[in-house]
């Protein structure tokens, strides 16, 4: 990959840098920060406004085609934006599942009408999206999903349950996978629907996580009617369309999260500078220094691996199974970073927000606990290793 910027790309970098300097909200303090990609509940409204402002400045959906409301640029420009966001420690956008997954999938498979209707409102954050894939008995083995969609005239009637559905409690739309053919082999009878979350018969029940936040939900469908025009990518073609979304998800997680990893690492270095360990400032302690240096190296490797993955996209291809490597790097790097944050704090690591002795109002405790989910969400670490083994390295199936 050639990292030399064209004059237009340099101009974009300067424009982003200046805009971020002038527009970065002053109330973006530790209270709202999180190193996860899914925003914390108290930050929703703030991040909705932030995404709107970024969109109006032309900085959301850089790679999306102009007719879908994007800027028609390449992943090179997206990388420049990511770099500047990391340098400025800028907040992420709220509509993360739409920008990272639903939008690119609609652009790839949607009808002209679908491409005009949905992506622009994703970018402006007028409509929030969630992902209805996982079910109580279908997570890693997604093709076993049992939510049914039965044809009734021009509609399909949906019955069943999804679980772990992030942001469903504030979502307007869902990317829904449902079984439309019970006779076909399990990968072949699935259809991808664009479901209006306000449809009668949809019930959302929040689930609390170890952090105390309720980021995700159970979603129940009781005779929910969805018009056939809401199918994305054709009847019984949901497995292929759904996998494309997952590839984009891993790409977004791997590539987009390098920004969050770098911001978290800068924060960790600040924490180490402010903390005494064995009688010296933690940054002077040899073992801590080595661990920080290793994390810095890993963060750089993560960044350049992301650059390698986008070479494929620059050639106009869809992201492939190698995006799983980026996802793994994020997970391992981020979990180690959070563990080091606990080690640096020593006994104070046990104190959450609310204690007068808690460090940074318990921010690191929250992000440490949240980071445990990184190796589950977006496909578990074991599944990513299987994908890399079988589909990248060509090893026999385990």
CA distance 63 to 37: 20
Nearer CB in complex with ligand FAD: 145/263: 145
CB environment 353-370: b (16+ within 10 A), e (fewer): eeeeebbbebbbbbbbbb
CB of 378 to ligand FAD, least distance (A): 6
249 tagged catalytic = yes
Instruction: Describe the crossing of helices 286-314 and 75-88 by its angle, rounded to 10 degrees.
Output: 150
Q: Which residue is nearest to ligand FAD (CB)?
A: 139
Whose Cβ is closer to ligand FAD: residue 303's or residue 334's? 334
**147 close to 135: Cβ distance less than 8 angstroms:** yes
Q: Which is nearer to ligand FAD, 213 or 285 (CB)?
A: 213
Minimum distance from residue 194 beta carbon to ligand FAD (Å): 15
Q: Cβ distance 99 to 123 under 8 Å?
A: yes
Instruction: Work out whether strand 280-281 and strand 202-207 pair parallel, antiparallel, or are unpaired.
Output: unpaired
> H-helix or E-strand containing 340?
helix 323-345
Closest CB to ligand FAD among residues 146, 386: 386
| Structure token pair of residue 119 | 């992506």
From the candidates 77, 84, 127, 249, give the one annotated as an active-site residue: 249
List the Cα angle 325/364/59 in 5-degree steps. Answer: 55
The answer to whether the CB of 295 falls within 8 A of the CB of 336 is yes
Whole-Å CA distances, 388 to 266, 326, 384, 393: 30, 11, 6, 6
Which sign does the torsion angle of CA 50, 56, 57, 58 carry? positive
Nearest distance, CB of residue 102 and ligand FAD, angstroms: 11
| Angle CA 10–12–13, to nearest 5 | 65
Residue (149 or 313) nearer to ligand FAD, CB: 149
The binding site for ligand FAD (CB under 6 A) comprises: 130-131, 133-134, 139-140, 164-166, 216, 373, 376-377, 379-380, 382-383, 386
Nearer to ligand FAD, 172 or 343 (CB): 172
Tell me the β-bridge partners of 218. Answer: 205
CB of 147 to ligand FAD, least distance (A): 11
The catalytic residues are: 249
């Amino acid at each position: 990959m050639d990292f030399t910027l064209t004059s237009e790309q340099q101009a974009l970098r300067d424009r982003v840098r200046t805009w971020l300097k002038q527009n970065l909200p002053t109330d973006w303090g530790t209270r709202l920060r999180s190193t996860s990609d899914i925003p914390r509940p108290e930050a929703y409204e703030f991040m909705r406004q932030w995404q709107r402002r970024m969109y109006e400045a032309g900085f959301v959906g850089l790679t999306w085609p102009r007719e879908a409301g994007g800027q028609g640029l390449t992943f090179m420009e997206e990388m420049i934006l990511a770099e500047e966001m990391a340098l400025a420690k800028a907040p992420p956008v709220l509509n993360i599942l739409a920008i990272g997954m639903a939008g690119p999938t609609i652009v790839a498979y949607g009808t002209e009408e679908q491409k005009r209707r949905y992506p622009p409102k994703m970018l402006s954050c007028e409509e929030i999206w969630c992902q209805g894939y996982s079910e109580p008995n279908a997570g890693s083995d997604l093709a076993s999903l049992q939510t049914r969609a039965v044809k009734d005239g021009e509609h399909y009637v949906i019955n069943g349950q999804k679980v772990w559905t992030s942001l469903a409690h504030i979502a307007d739309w869902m990317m829904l996978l449902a079984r439309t053919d019970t006779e076909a082999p399990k990968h072949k009878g699935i259809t991808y629907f664009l479901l209006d979350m306000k449809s009668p018969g949809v019930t959302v029940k929040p689930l609390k996580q170890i952090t105390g936040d309720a980021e995700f939900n159970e979603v129940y469908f009781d005779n929910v009617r969805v018009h056939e025009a809401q199918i994305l990518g054709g009847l019984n073609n949901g497995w292929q369309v759904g996998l494309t979304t997952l590839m984009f998800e891993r790409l977004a997680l791997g590539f987009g999260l390098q920004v969050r990893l770098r911001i978290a690492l800068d924060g960790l270095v600040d924490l180490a500078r402010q903390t005494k360990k064995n009688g010296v400032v933690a940054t002077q302690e040899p073992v801590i220094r080595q661990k920080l240096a290793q994390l810095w190296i890993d963060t750089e490797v993560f960044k350049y691996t992301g650059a390698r993955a986008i070479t494929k996209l620059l050639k106009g291809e869809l992201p492939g199974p190698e995006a799983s490597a980026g996802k793994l790097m994020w997970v391992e790097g981020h979990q180690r970073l959070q563990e080091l944050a606990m080690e640096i704090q020593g006994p104070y690591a046990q104190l959450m927000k609310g204690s007068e002795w808690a460090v940074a109002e318990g921010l690191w405790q929250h992000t440490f606990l949240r980071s445990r989910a990184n190796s589950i969400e977006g496909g578990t670490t074991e599944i990513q290793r299987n994908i890399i083994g079988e589909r990248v390295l060509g090893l026999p199936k385990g």
